[in-house]
Amino acid sequence: MGAPPGYRPSAWVHLLHQLPRADFQLRPVPSGFAPQEQEYQQALLLVVALAGLGLGLSLIFIAVYLIRFCCCRPPEPPGAKSPPPGGGCVTWSCIAALLVGCTGIGIGFYGNSETSDGVSQLSSALLHANHTLTAIDHLVLEMMERLDEAVRTELTTLEEVLTQRTELVAATRGARRQAEAVAQQLQGLAFWQGVPLSPLQVAEDVSFVEEYRWLAYVLLLLLELLVCLFTLLGLAKQSKWLVIVMTVMSLLVLVLSWGSMGLEAATAVGLSDFCSSPDTYILNLTREETGLGSDILNYYFLCNQAVSNPFQQRLTLSQRALANIHSQLQGLEREAVPQFPSAQKPLLSLEETLNVTEGNFHQLVALLHCRGLHKDYGAALRGLCEDALEGLLYLLLFSLLSAGALATALCSLPRAWALFPPSDDYDDTDDDDPFNPQESKRFVQWQSSI
């Protein structure tokens, strides 16, 4: 199969495509892209299940760690004011984990943008292909209407004018037959007319899904960024209530990170299978959805010297017929106009129609060539298999860093807030505030001294 221009499977595609796959019974599954087969669907769901397993192990580890911390902590000696040893290490490890999470957030924003760019390139290629197919149908319809109008009006009028000269009438009828033959040949060139599959609708559906995917990831990234920033603020101000709230939010974001990791991993694996050999799947799917012949689909999707143009014969016959009409009209103009001046007007109108038709015909030949649609096919593959896949891998890295950072923070935060001084709730109060306990105590002492 011929590769589209400018597209070659990347190293990431080859690497992900070589990963082993298995169904729910752990039986090996071929890595060929086959989303309609149950075994392949199970293989992708198993990738998602691995992320769920990772989430379960993380929650179990966090729960065991916190239970051990709460139940097995040695009692503090009465009157002890100094923090237990290792407290600073716990706080700094939590801060380091949150900073790693912030780094992952930056990677996530980049990956989300790359994925969006790739999907946008796919949508643009589909829209351009739809424009080409629509232009082909429009040109064919316009040329057929012009030729039909010429047969019904100008050529009929010309026959009536030239009734006295049988040889001129025969030449006119020959031009009529040629025009009807051209219209018949053109009718078979509008190959996309009546096809239920619309690239425009596909592009709109892809853009709709991508818009909500992009928005969902932006909200997830912003949520994790807020959790990291407010957690750092709570540690800096030693605000126990803020750290407790952010601990609960960190648990929620941890679940979301593992969930997004499963979806990203399954999508990346499936996309790598598709991108390793896209021609076969696209050809079969398009044939099923459109009902077009293999000769047409192979011509546009492969576009190489081994595949001939399925419309070449029709184009050649149409071009010859148009040339014959042109020569016949020139002969009629030389022979008929001197004897029948009234024939000049329909002849001029016919020549104008023929010139416009020939111009549209040359434009149609260019549009029917495989270069344009094959270029759109290559652009769609590059957007999906390069930019979108690269963005998915960055999002996968973000989810991995986020899950690790939040798991570390959830283990460290309870130990960190246990080190906060008991008076942390009054850290932000003013020294002159009469409701400040310290200030109230000094006020009572001053009254007793008086």
Confidence grade of residue 55 (pLDDT, cut at 50, 70, 90)? very high
Is 446 a domain residue? no
Which pLDDT does position 4 carry in this prediction?
64
**Burial class for 71, CB neighbours closer than 10 Å (0-12, 13-18, 19+):** exposed
Tens of pLDDT, residue by residue over 66-119, are 888 777 655 555 554 555 554 567 778 888 888 999 999 999 999 999 999 999
CB 365 within 8 A of CB 315: yes
Number of domains making up the chain: 1
Return the pLDDT at 72.
Answer: 63
Is residue 75 assigned to a domain? no
Q: Say how many C-beta atoms besides its own lie within 10 A of residue 345's C-beta.
A: 13
What pLDDT band is residue 446 in, cutting at 50, 70 and 90? very low
The token duo for 138 is: 């429009």
Interval 83-93: pLDDT, tens: 555 456 777 88
Averaged over 277-298, what is the pLDDT? 90
User: Is residue 105 assigned to a domain?
Assistant: yes
Question: Which tens digit of pLDDT belongs to each residue from 189-217?
Answer: 989 988 888 999 999 999 999 999 999 99
Cα–Cα dist 323/355, whole Å: 11
Q: Is 386 inside a domain boundary?
A: yes
pLDDT digits (tens, 9 = 90+) for 370-400: 999 999 999 999 999 999 999 999 999 999 9
pLDDT of residue 220: 96
Domain membership flag for residue 326: yes
The rounded distance, in Å, linking the Cα atoms of 6 and 429 is 65
CB burial string 153-170: b at 16+ within 10 A, e below: ebbebbbebbeeeeebbe
Contact 360, 136 (CB under 8 A): no
**113-170 pLDDT, tens digit each:** 999 999 999 999 999 999 999 999 999 999 999 888 888 888 888 888 888 888 888 8
CA end-to-end span of the chain, whole Å?
101
Higher pLDDT: 26 or 86? It is: 26
Q: How far is CA 166 from the centre of its chain?
A: 66
Angle at CA 368, nearest 5°, toward 295 and 145? 115
pLDDT in tens, 327-363: 888 888 888 888 888 888 888 888 888 889 999 999 9
pLDDT value of position 215? 96
The DSSP code sequence of 337-384 is TTT-GGGHHHHHHHHHHHHHHHHHHHHHHHHHSHHHHHHHHHHHHHII
In a domain, 115, yes or no: yes
For 238-260, what is each residue's pLDDT tens digit? 888 888 899 899 999 999 999 99
Report which secondary-structure segment, H or E, holds 207: helix 199-237
Is there a domain that residue 38 lies in?
no
List Cβ neighbours of 142 (8 Å cut-off, separation of 6 or more). 360
Residue type, 124: S
Supply the pLDDT for residue 424. Answer: 43
- 357 contacts 141 by C-beta, under 8 angstroms: no
Q: Is residue 186 part of a domain?
A: yes
**Domain assignment of residue 265, given as a range:** 93-420
For residue 77, give Cα distances in angstroms to 74, 80, 82, 164, 417: 9, 6, 10, 129, 19
CB of 274 closer than 8 Å to CB of 33: yes
Q: What percent of the chain has pLDDT over 90?
A: 47
Alpha-carbon span 418 to 75, nearest angstrom? 13
Residue 46's Cβ-count burial label (10 Å; 0-12, 13-18, 19+) is middle
Residue 221 has pLDDT above 50, yes or no: yes
Alpha-carbon gap, residue 203 to 91, rounded angstroms: 50
CB 142 within 8 A of CB 360: yes
C-alpha span between 83 and 420 (Å, rounded): 9
**Mean pLDDT score across all residues of the chain:** 85
Task: Check: CB of residue 207 under 8 Å from CB of residue 123.
Answer: yes
31 vs 261, which has greater pLDDT?
261
